[in-house]
Chains A and B, each alone.
Chain A
Amino acid sequence: DAGVIQSPRHEVTEMGQEVTLRCKPISGHNSLFWYRQTMMRGLELLIYFNNNVPIDDSGMPEDRFSAKMPNASFSTLKIQPSEPRDSAVYFCASRRGTDTQYFGPGTRLTVL
């Protein structure tokens, strides 16, 4: 199994630009999670999907952030417009049932 796949691995953009992060969960997993990790705030859950349906998006910082899961094998996290304070590592994770979450390698986002 290839594990959770995220792209791009690194993204550098300028303030005001739109950023789209992509995630392919492990096949057969029915839950998908987006996290953000910073030195100051640690690992924060942004949103998670269960069977492609958003269950809890209370962690999404503001309306500039949106996430979609059009099918069981793909999800996107979009930031529009991006701001320097959005700079962080964004992780996608997936799981089957209620047990172990498997994390992707992360996307390191830098907003200048």
Chain B
Amino acid sequence: SQQGEEDPQALSIQEGENATMNCSYKTSINNLQWYRQNSGRGLVHLILIRSNEREKHSGRLRVTLDTSKKSSSLLITASRAADTASYFCATNAYSGAGSYQLTFGKGTKLSVIP
């Protein structure tokens, strides 16, 4: 079953604006990760935030995690046309037998208009 659910499903903004995407999940997690996928390409890892962290930054990316609400957000500041892609959150949780499994949401499709 889908663990992470992104919101919104699609987002269209002007270049230079900020883009915020949200992710909600249902069970306890070890960490939460955000990935980006350009059309027709593989997924690229953007940032990982652990369950004991509340905020993390990487360049123009800012990720927050609220484990009490089981939610995360990804903020892209000063967006560029090249940021146009689908963004996925993935929750990493214990799946038994000493193993951890990533479960992906369906993604937010971001369009940045030049």
Which A positions have Cβ atoms within 8 angstroms of B? 31, 33, 35, 42-43, 45, 48, 50, 55-56, 91, 93, 98-106, 108
Contact = CB atoms under 8 A, between A and B. Distances in A.
Interface residues of B, number: 28
B102 A42 contact: no
B88 A43 contact: yes
7 contacts: A42-B107, A48-B99, A50-B98, A91-B42, A100-B33, A101-B102, A105-B42
Interface string B46-62: 00100000000000000
A48 B101 contact: yes
Given A98-B30, A98-B31, A106 B100 contact: no
* Ranked 10 nearest A-B pairs via Cβ: A42-B106, A103-B42, A98-B100, A103-B43, A43-B104, A105-B42, A100-B45, A55-B99, A106-B42, A50-B99
B68 interface: no
Contacts of B104: 35, 42-43, 45
B43 A45 contact: no
B41 interface: yes
Nearest to A39: B106
B99 A56 contact: yes
A38 B99 CA distance: 26
Highest count of chain A CB atoms <10 Å: which of B35, B96, B102, B105: B102
B102 A45 contact: yes
A55 B45 contact: no
Contacts of A104: 42
Contact of B92 (A35, A48, A56, A98): A98
B12 interface: no
B48 A99 contact: yes
Contacts of B96: 56
